[in-house]
């Protein structure tokens, strides 16, 4: 099968799926989903609030890593009111392990808006859901279709991959023409569905479990007979991969101060600034630079004898756009500079918001848990 005519790498006319194919694909996916669906806690009891929490967690994190966090979160905050009334520090502490903490702050703000402006009911319509902080077109479409049966389309990385293979359209995610095409195909699909929520979840599920990036299992795909890439035998070629984002390298030099107080081990922590990476979360005192500092430079900055400091742990933490190189120093000397912050028991780290790398260094070097 040949590709559609291409100009400058982009097909002159994006290949729309034929209406008959669209409706056959939607039907096949809807029939497949009830048998193939993984049992996930947000699927057992559908509610706007559970959908809001699970979709926020799933925005940048894979299902397997979300399940336990979701259960812990809704056990602690069982209703949208309880979340709206919670302290932000408790919400962030419960988000620990999931990363991308802006999602937790947005979810907290969304719960407050639901209580203040929507009478405590998570809206069922995509246009209203879009007013909530952190809710974009995908999340609004997912919640409105799954909870309320609205014919709202969804496109994320999984769905874009499925659509691009079905039509054998070699676009690149993130490019306007390709993204617009995906939304229009998803809309055509949801318009022809019997149950828009089932279709949308089936597309997510297919992308996550069958039509995967590196090893598509066309033999297990309910839509393979209608899939141009499966028929041509080259699904891995679609879509064209995104170029990797430009990455910045930064160095975080952490000073791990410990003490034993009333028979328990404590660690000294400071709160991060209100804005930026890991905003308002806690960490050992840290110097951030764009190059690695020597022990003697650190000794001067912290007013600590460099001979009493050890680089005890070094690792790199990758965020979406940054490589954060951590250099962790343990010392028993007290620094000569005044440090604002507080001592915290190393044995109860779950009570305060700590990003993964900080939790890791305290656990490994100060016996925290
Ligand atoms: N990814 C995003 N939303 C999802 C959902 N509701 N179920 C499974 N995976 C998802």
Using one digit for the tens of pLDDT, what is the confidence trace for 239-250?
999 988 899 999
pLDDT classification of 368: cutoffs 50, 70, 90: low
Q: What is the pLDDT of residues 64-119, one digit of tens each?
A: 999 999 999 999 999 999 999 999 999 999 999 899 999 999 999 999 999 999 99
Does 62 have pLDDT greater than 60? Answer: yes
Single out the residue of 235, 170, 174 nearest to residue 10, CA to CA: 170
Cα dihedral sign, 124-128-131-136: positive
Q: What was the pLDDT predicted at 308?
A: 86
From-to residues of CATH 3.90.79.10 in the chain: 248-366
Q: 248-366: which CATH architecture?
A: Alpha-Beta Complex (3.90)
Q: Which residue among 38, 60, 63, 156 has the greatest number of ligand 1 atoms within 8 angstroms of its CB, and so is best to mutate?
A: 63
Report in angstroms the alpha-carbon separations of 225 from 216, 235, 282. 14, 13, 53
Pocket residues: Cβ below 6 A from ligand 1 = 54-55, 58, 63, 142, 201, 204, 208
pLDDT of res. 366: 80
SS3 state of residue 207: helix
Query: What's residue 6's pLDDT?
Result: 52
Tell me if residue 55 is catalytic: yes
CATH topology of domain 9-237: Endonuclease III; domain 1 (1.10.340)
Single out the catalytic residue among 55, 150, 205, 266. Answer: 55
Residue of 52, 55, 57 with the most ligand 1 atoms within 8 Å of its CB, for mutation: 55
Whether the pLDDT of residue 203 is over 70: the answer is yes
> In angstroms, rounded to a whole number, what is the distance separating the alpha carbons of residues 102 and 99?
9
pLDDT of the residue at 13 = 60
Residue that the structure tokens 């001979």 belong to = 307
Model confidence at 145: pLDDT above 60: yes
Q: Give the pLDDT score at 18.
A: 84
**Which of 47-61, 269-283, 355-369 shows the lowest per-residue confidence on average (mean pLDDT)?**
355-369
Q: Which residue, 192, 305, 329, 187, is CA-closest to 251?
A: 329
Q: Where are the domain boundaries for CATH 1.10.340.30 in the chain?
A: 9-237
- For ligand 1, the distance from its centroid to the CA atom of residue 254, given in whole angstroms, is 37
pTM of the model: 0.90
Atom 1, ligand 1: which residue's CA is nearest? 58
Which ligand 1 atom is the nearest neighbour of the CA of 42? 6
Check residue 1 and give its pLDDT: 41
- Dihedrals phi, psi of 259, to nearest 5 degrees: -150, 165
Q: Please calculate the CA angle 95-100-101 and round it to the nearest 5 degrees.
A: 50
d(CA 308, CA 197) in angstroms, rounded, equals: 61
How far, in Å, from the CA of 236 to the mean position of ligand 1? 22
- Tracing tokens 């609205």 back to the chain, one arrives at 150
pLDDT band at 12 (very low <50, low <70, confident <90, very high): low
CA angle 225, 230, 233 (to 5 degrees): 135
Mean pLDDT, the chain, rounded, equals: 93
Other Cβ atoms closer than 10 A to 91: 20
Residues 310-332 have a mean pLDDT of 92
What 8-state DSSP symbol labels residue 87? -
Q: How far is the CA of 55 from the centre of ligand 1 (A)?
A: 7
For a substitution probing ligand 1, which of 138, 208, 211, 212 has the most ligand atoms within 8 Å of its CB? 208
Range with the lowest mean pLDDT among 84-98, 109-123, 185-199, 354-368?
A: 354-368
CA of 114 to the centre of ligand 1 (A): 22
Express as a percent the part of the chain with pLDDT over 90: 83
**pLDDT reported for residue 2:** 42
Residue 191 has pLDDT above 90, yes or no: yes
Q: What is the pLDDT of residue 332?
A: 76
Say yes or no to pLDDT of 187 above 90: yes
Paired with 267 in beta bridges are: 258, 344
């Amino acid at each position: 099968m040949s590709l559609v005519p291409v100009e400058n790498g982009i097909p002159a006319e994006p290949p729309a799926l034929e209406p008959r194919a669209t409706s056959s694909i939607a039907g096949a996916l809807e029939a497949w989903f009830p048998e193939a669906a993984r049992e996930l806690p947000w699927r057992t009891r559908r509610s706007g609030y559970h959908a809001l929490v699970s979709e926020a967690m799933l925005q940048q994190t894979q299902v397997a890593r979300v399940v336990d966090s979701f259960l812990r979160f809704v056990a602690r905050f069982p209703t949208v009111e309880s979340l709206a009334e919670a302290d932000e520090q408790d919400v962030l502490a419960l988000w620990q392990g999931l990363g991308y903490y802006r999602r937790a702050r947005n979810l907290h703000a969304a719960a407050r808006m639901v209580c203040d402006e929507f009478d405590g009911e998570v809206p069922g319509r995509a246009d209203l859901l879009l007013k909530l902080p952190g809710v974009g077109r995908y999340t609004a479409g997912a919640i409105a279709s799954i909870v309320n049966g609205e014919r709202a389309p969804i496109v994320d990385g999984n769905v874009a991959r499925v659509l691009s293979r079905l039509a054998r359209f070699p676009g690149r995610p993130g490019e306007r023409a390709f993204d617009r095409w995906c939304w229009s195909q998803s809309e055509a699909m949801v318009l022809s569905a019997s149950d828009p929520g089932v279709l949308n979840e089936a597309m997510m599920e297919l992308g996550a479990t069958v039509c995967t990036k590196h090893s598509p299992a066309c033999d297990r795909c309910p839509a393979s007979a209608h899939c141009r890439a499966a028929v041509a035998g080259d699904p891995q070629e679609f879509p064209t991969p995104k170029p990797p984002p430009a990455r910045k390298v930064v160095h975080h030099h952490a000073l791990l101060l410990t003490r034993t107080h009333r028979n328990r081990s404590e660690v000294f922590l400071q709160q991060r600034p209100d804005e930026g990476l890991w905003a308002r979360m806690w960490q050992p005192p840290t110097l951030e630079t764009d190059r690695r500092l020597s022990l003697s430079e650190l000794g001067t900055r912290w007013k600590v004898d460099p001979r009493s400091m050890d680089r005890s742990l070094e690792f790199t933490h990758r965020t979406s756009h940054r490589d954060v190189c951590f250099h962790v120093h343990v010392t028993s000397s007290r620094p000569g500079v005044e440090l604002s912050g507080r001592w915290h028991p190393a044995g109860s780290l779950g009570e305060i918001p700590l990003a993964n790398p900080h939790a890791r260094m305290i656990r490994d070097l100060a016996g925290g848990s």
